Structure 1
Amino acid sequence: MIVEKIDTFGGHRDCVYSLEKGPQSNQFFSTGADGLVVRWNLGRPDLGDLIAKVPASVYALAFHWSSGLLWVGQNYEGLHLIDPDKKQEVSSLKLTSAAIFDIKFYKNDAFVALSDGIVAVVDIEQLAVKKHLKASEQSARSIAINPVEREFAVGYSDNVVRIFDLTTYELKRIVTGHTNSVFTVAYSPDFRFLLTAGRDAHLKVWEVERQYEAYQSIVAHMFAINSVVFSPDGTLFATASMDKAIKIWDAETYKLLKVVDRARHAGHGTSINKLLWTDYESQLISASDDRTISVWKVA
């Protein structure tokens, strides 16, 4: 396997926390501690386009495909819906005074993970809260949707992953095994497995159809794992860590294939917070505390 750094995108003035796909395969959005929301073109890395500026840090971005609006989760203020082309705020919802860690969509629902332990279910059309799911006193950090089983997984800072029904919102299952905060959850593309990781640096794989029975437990990094993403074809996945490394894994065998770091690949110098594996020439994007975004070719 060959991993080659193609580009570095600079321009953010502080840590970059979130990446999100844009409406075209060569576009993506970024945001972070500086409150800048930027649209990038993978074909033209020198052309960062400022879409919005909010007065607090942002951990969560989500692009809503049918409306073409970018949802921005501003810490302590709530949700801002931005039209990226007009660079205008279309609407907003003062959802919470807590931090917003993740936003995911399913049909007409937006699921929003909050630092007060609540997952808010928001009606997308009405932009109104339908339900507060309070299953923990500690932060809800990451959400993954499984439309096949009609459920969604939430990773929490109380070391637990909880599985909810997508339509009734009822708590279906509690998945335990991590010894510290769960920062990232991701279903495999075939929805047979759930991958979870976090502060304990362990990558855990759960078999969905066997009631989330433990399938694999891997000491994957030296420090906290912040992000897990699958390649577009589903054959690989990548993990990113506070240990400054990206690791590429075989999605079938869970075997480590490549370590991408500063020494060997001119990688990031500080914590890597988010990964995005794009459909554009299967390029992998990473965002870091070092204020930069790197683009990687994986072949």
Structure 2
Amino acid sequence: MASPFQVQKITTLTGHRDCVYTLERAPETHKFFSAGADGMVALWDLTQPEHGELVAKVSSSVYALKYVEERNWLLIGHNHNSLEVLDLSAKAIVKTIPLPSAAIFDIQYCWETQRAYLALGDGTLQIIDLEKLEVQQAVRLSEKSVRCLALHPTKPELAVGLSDNRILVLETSALRGKHVLENHTGSVFTLAYTPDGNYLLSGSRDAHLRVWDAENEYREHASIIAHLFTLNHITFSPNGRLFATCSMDKSVKVWDAQSFKLLKVIDKARHAGHGTSVNKLFWSAHWNQLVSCSDDRSIAVWALTLKEI
């Protein structure tokens, strides 16, 4: 089957001195943040990609960033017992919120409740009140790490991926358990709801992409052997018609969000892709550009020229 689009690497961004673990949206659609093992948080402009701006430097690795639009804050989750709250307008840390000494693997934010949810390596879900800038609640969910989080786009539900292979779906206000999904055979590293909220997608160390029917008691809708090794991240295109996955197998794959069919493989052999694990993706509304980051210390920017989609 002919692919509905072509892929072209636009540029490679270098500047990080170690593995790049995470990417996050910025205030403008043509900009994004990156962070990784060197503790540096950088801001990049897709219209001038060769110029990265250092916006923060923290004392340890950063696995998770979250932009809070209403306050123009960037939440920086680093592995040194705290969450840093960076005011982007003032270019200053407004608060360092103490946390247990564990890696912060993921951060999600709910603007309606002004709460941030943090996935920690000690098996706890930490809830941060962003008005008071303090920990509101901590819930132990597992003896192993809490790895990833996803907020339902319309319902008060939070999906939580764990290193004990389970996915928990919690009701957000009281954090009561609603569903337990146990089909993965490895740590669950990434979760993403479809933009309409009908399905939850999950990726795991078992290399499978699983699709759960959120409208039907989260029954498994599909199980796909998506990659050769750990599936690290899932992200949707700005129009919601496509999604992309990335993996420890060094590849990025693009899928149809309706049929869950594979459309394109982006790798080193075909497109001069990454040389090591691809850790995170960011799909920009700026010219539909897809950004990937890797253990190879680089960030790649891809142009997807759509034919019919």
- Bin the TM-score by the shorter chain: over 0.9
Shift of 1:291: 0.3
Determine the C-alpha separation between the residues in 1 that align with 2:96 and 2:70.
18
What's the CA shift string for 1:228-270, capped at 9, x where partnerless? 0010101100000000000000111111100000011010000
What's the CA shift string for 1:172-191, capped at 9, x where partnerless? 11111000000000000000
Shift of 1:147: 3.9
The corresponding residue for 1:18 is: 22
2:156 to 147, 150, 153: 150
The corresponding residue for 1:94 is: 98
Give TM-score scaled by structure 2 length. 0.95
Determine the C-alpha separation between the residues in 2 that align with 1:211 and 1:128.
34
**Where in structure 2 are the equivalents of 1:133-144 lying within 5 Å?**
133-144=139-150
Contact residue 153 and residue 196 of structure 2 kept, 8 A: no
Determine the C-alpha separation between the residues in 2 that align with 1:198 and 1:13.
27
Contact residue 115 and residue 128 of structure 2 kept, 8 A: yes
1:260 to 266, 272, 275: 266
Count of matched residue pairs: 299
Shift >4 Å, 4+ stretches: none
Contact residue 72 and residue 89 of structure 2 kept, 8 A: no
The corresponding residue for 2:173 is: 167
Question: SS of the residue aligned with 2:105?
Answer: strand
Question: SS of the residue aligned with 1:267?
Answer: coil
Shift of 1:84: 2.6
What's the CA shift string for 1:84-112, capped at 9, x where partnerless? 34332111101121110011111211000
Shift of 1:74: 1.1
- 1:129 is aligned to 2:129: no
The corresponding residue for 2:209 is: 203
Shift of 1:83: 2.1
The corresponding residue for 2:226 is: 220
Identity %: 48
Give TM-score scaled by structure 1 length. 0.98
Shift of 1:137: 0.8
Determine the C-alpha separation between the residues in 2 that align with 1:87 and 1:131.
28
Question: SS of the residue aligned with 1:46?
Answer: coil
Question: SS of the residue aligned with 2:175?
Answer: coil
Q: Tell me which amino acid in the other structure corresponds to 1:115.
A: G
Shift of 1:77: 2.2
- 1:57 is aligned to 2:61: yes
Q: CA RMSD of the aligned region, Å?
A: 0.8
1:82 to 86, 111, 114: 86
Determine the C-alpha separation between the residues in 2 that align with 1:85 and 1:269.
36
Determine the C-alpha separation between the residues in 2 that align with 1:243 and 1:56.
26
Shift of 1:76: 2.5
Determine the C-alpha separation between the residues in 2 that align with 1:63 and 1:96.
22
- Stretch of structure 1 that moved more, 91-100 or 215-224: 91-100
